[in-house]
Chain A
Amino acid sequence: MKKIGKIFIGLSLALLVLWLVPWVYRIVTLESYSTPFTLYSCVVHDFTSLDRSDARNFRFIDRKGNVYGDEVQPLFYHSILASKGAFPDSLEGIPVTEEMVEHNSVILSAEPKEFNVKKAPVYLLMESVPVRLELHDPEDAFVVRKNGLAVYRMADNTLLEEKTGRFNAALSAEGFRFPANLVAGKPSHHKEYDEGYLLTDAEGKLFHLKQVDGEPVVRHFPAADSLDLRQILITEFTNRATLGYLVDRDNRLHMLRPDGTVIPTEVRYDPAREDLLVVGDLFYYTVKTSDADGEHFFALRSDDFSLVDRMDRPYDFEEEVNLCKYVFPCRLSFTSSDDGWVKPRFSDFSWIGLVVDLLVAVFIIAWRWRRKNTNN
């Protein structure tokens, strides 16, 4: 038992060293790195990035090195320009007003951690057409179960059997096969209107479910039937240009229009690995996806989401000398900024570290063997 205890302690210490020493090293040597805010400009028709070397003056630089002020992004900085009386009367040959700009401003962001977590199969059910027009906090919630949804009144944790029956019947009538798979919604009153949930059924077909006057309103989107969806983001933007963004198994981003049409885009986005930032205006959407290697920018037309331009920006920080790789065969960590799981993750495998460790182990064994023989 003593030998087993020694092995247990030895293995535990080895794992502890692989976990803590590289972690401490990273903390000590960590340096901040940020990238400039970048948008596609409807004025110069190029990506323009905020010049970080002159942050006080808000200068923007395009890919050719030309320098501009706020006027290069008149739709994003419209309030500032309007306060200076510099907001243009027309853009792209179209007369524009501040109201038009505000109405068509779109911002959406998503991080892998939002999707790579275990979520409760419970979804708050808002009233999409409130009597007093203003959205209010949900009173009911539905639970996704194998054989259907179960609607509960949250105040007293009571199963609303009749309502449950109506919701399941409405879904079944549209051809929904239980259980529900992906469910996406934003049940919050901090928005202008509510579109309920976009959800896929057991066969991967896309449906829209919302509550209107306490009754279920369900709609099937046949246009999305051919897509093998892996993620859905509901948009609920002021301009109602889209109902949601769909990501298929090939990581292609599709736009779902409120009329049920699905528009494929040239954007590739892996929701499990990449951050997503969409900043849209009257004329163009700038879509940024970023992973551990760099950032990818896509400029899409706002009307048909066709690709106008794209730009890749790999991170340009220099690889620091990683002393740990000369000492350890790998690095052990348990958490990641990309997901909510605690699990062992071995990374940064190093042959040099493995050889060094083996040599040290051989040296220690030989030394102990020699000492033992000398004592005998």
Chain B
Amino acid sequence: MNRMILYKEWLKTRWFLLAAFLVLAAGTFYMGLSLSKTVQFNGADKLWEVLVSKETVLLETLKYLPLAVGGLLAVVQFFPETARKRLKLTLHLPYPQGRMMAMMYGYGLAALTILFLLQATVLTVSLRHYFVTELVVRIMVTAAVWYLAGYAAYIWVAAVCLEPTWRMRVVVIVLLAALVRLLFLSGVPESYNGILPWLVLYVLCGQVLIFHSVARFKEGLQD
């Protein structure tokens, strides 16, 4: 049954995952090209100078990509469940409902993790070519918040898709907007170092929103 659920999720998301992979790859390639051209025309020492003296980590062009990928994956995966009333059928399968939902969004989180890890690895390797470890760590720790925004978007948008009433949908959307605002509040490198573990915990706790929406769906609440 587990394999069947995963296969169902794969069928729903495979084209989107391919598109997301291509978009992330294109973004990463563009970033790499941009870096190499800057080095070619201005020298790597200019980039070092910018990294050390300015409030930038050079990758700002990519900062909203994980957010978009996370949010859209949730739409692709969960919107058909409610729009075509499949969720009612899914929840009536002879399988524990909680586990079913955990499998579904666990699949999504795993897919996002693979995509994000791939991009972060390629970026780290590329950056390591130009910069010392200390600067690369600084860049990637700063970028960790952007990836966290991707997970947050996935979880909150999934909850919005599964939520049966518009009133609660608006509440969850408002919370997501505030969370995204918080995650992109500062452009100062490493400014989230202290709060990052708490934000990770908060985003992980956000998974209860998915179960909350499903429970309300099961109760038959609707507009």
Residues of A near any B CB (own CB < 8 A): 1-2, 4-6, 8-9, 12-13, 16, 19-20, 117-118, 120-124, 137-139, 141, 143, 150, 152, 154-157, 187, 334-335, 340-344
Please, which residues of chain B bring their CB within 8 A of the CB of A340? Answer: 55, 186, 188, 191
User: A180: shortest Cβ distance to chain B, in Å?
Assistant: 13
User: B91: shortest Cβ distance to chain A, in Å?
Assistant: 14
User: A333: shortest Cβ distance to chain B, in Å?
Assistant: 10
CA distance A118 to B192 in the complex (A): 10
CA distance A357 to B212 in the complex (A): 26
CA distance A143 to B146 in the complex (A): 27
Selected interface stretch from B18-26, B44-52, B74-82, B108-116: B44-52
Residue on A with the closest CB to B211? Answer: A1
Residues of B near any A CB (own CB < 8 A): 43-46, 48-49, 51-53, 55, 98, 129-132, 134-135, 138, 171-172, 174-175, 178, 182, 185-186, 188-195, 205-206, 208-209, 211-213, 215-216
B186 and A8 contacting across the interface, CB-CB below 8 Å: no
Please, which residues of chain B bring their CB within 8 A of the CB of A121? Answer: 134
CA distance A19 to B175 in the complex (A): 12
User: Chain B's interface: helix, strand, loop or mixed, by majority?
Assistant: helix
What are 24 of the A-B contact pairs (CB < 8 Å)?
A: A4-B208, A4-B212, A5-B209, A5-B215, A117-B190, A118-B191, A120-B51, A120-B135, A120-B138, A121-B134, A122-B51, A122-B52, A122-B135, A124-B49, A137-B45, A137-B49, A139-B45, A141-B132, A143-B134, A155-B45, A157-B44, A340-B191, A341-B195, A343-B194
The one of A141, A143, A155, A342 in contact with B185, judged by C-beta atoms closer than 8 angstroms, is A342
Residue on B with the closest CB to A12? Answer: B175
Please, which residues of chain B bring their CB within 8 A of the CB of A9? Answer: 171-172, 175, 209, 212
The one of B45, B178, B212 in contact with A16, judged by C-beta atoms closer than 8 angstroms, is B178
B52 and A120 contacting across the interface, CB-CB below 8 Å: yes
Q: Which of A1, A120, A124 has the largest number of chain B CB atoms within 10 A?
A: A120
A122 and B48 contacting across the interface, CB-CB below 8 Å: yes
CA distance A120 to B189 in the complex (A): 9
Residue on B with the closest CB to A118? Answer: B190
User: A332: shortest Cβ distance to chain B, in Å?
Assistant: 11
Residue on B with the closest CB to A8? Answer: B208
Residue on A with the closest CB to B48? Answer: A154
CA distance A8 to B208 in the complex (A): 8
B48 and A342 contacting across the interface, CB-CB below 8 Å: no
B190 and A19 contacting across the interface, CB-CB below 8 Å: no
Please, which residues of chain A bring their CB within 8 A of the CB of B98? Answer: 1
B209 and A8 contacting across the interface, CB-CB below 8 Å: yes
Given known contacts A8-B205, A117-B191, A141-B52, is B134 in contact with A122 (CB within 8 Å)? Answer: yes
Given known contacts A5-B209, A9-B212, A342-B191, is B49 in contact with A122 (CB within 8 Å)? Answer: no
User: B65: shortest Cβ distance to chain A, in Å?
Assistant: 21
B195 and A343 contacting across the interface, CB-CB below 8 Å: yes
Please, which residues of chain B bring their CB within 8 A of the CB of A1? Answer: 98, 208, 211-212, 215
Given known contacts A16-B175, A122-B48, is B182 in contact with A334 (CB within 8 Å)? Answer: yes
- 7 closest cross-chain pairs (CB), A and B: A5-B212, A154-B45, A340-B188, A118-B190, A2-B215, A1-B211, A154-B48
Residue on B with the closest CB to A123? Answer: B52
User: A12: shortest Cβ distance to chain B, in Å?
Assistant: 5
User: A72: shortest Cβ distance to chain B, in Å?
Assistant: 38
User: A113: shortest Cβ distance to chain B, in Å?
Assistant: 9
CA distance A12 to B199 in the complex (A): 12
B185 and A334 contacting across the interface, CB-CB below 8 Å: yes
CA distance A123 to B208 in the complex (A): 46
B194 and A341 contacting across the interface, CB-CB below 8 Å: yes
User: B180: shortest Cβ distance to chain A, in Å?
Assistant: 12
Please, which residues of chain B bring their CB within 8 A of the CB of A342? Answer: 182, 185-186, 191-192, 194-195
A157 and B212 contacting across the interface, CB-CB below 8 Å: no
Given known contacts A5-B208, A5-B215, A343-B194, is B130 in contact with A157 (CB within 8 Å)? Answer: yes
User: B14: shortest Cβ distance to chain A, in Å?
Assistant: 30
CA distance A1 to B98 in the complex (A): 10
Please, which residues of chain A bring their CB within 8 A of the CB of B175? Answer: 9, 12-13, 16
Given known contacts A2-B216, A4-B208, A120-B138, is B49 in contact with A155 (CB within 8 Å)? Answer: no
B185 and A335 contacting across the interface, CB-CB below 8 Å: yes
B191 and A124 contacting across the interface, CB-CB below 8 Å: no
CA distance A117 to B209 in the complex (A): 35
CA distance A187 to B49 in the complex (A): 9
18 new A-B contacts, CB < 8 A, other than A1-B211, A16-B174, A157-B131, are: A1-B208, A1-B215, A8-B209, A9-B212, A13-B171, A117-B188, A120-B138, A122-B51, A122-B52, A139-B45, A334-B182, A335-B186, A340-B186, A340-B188, A340-B191, A341-B194, A342-B194, A343-B194
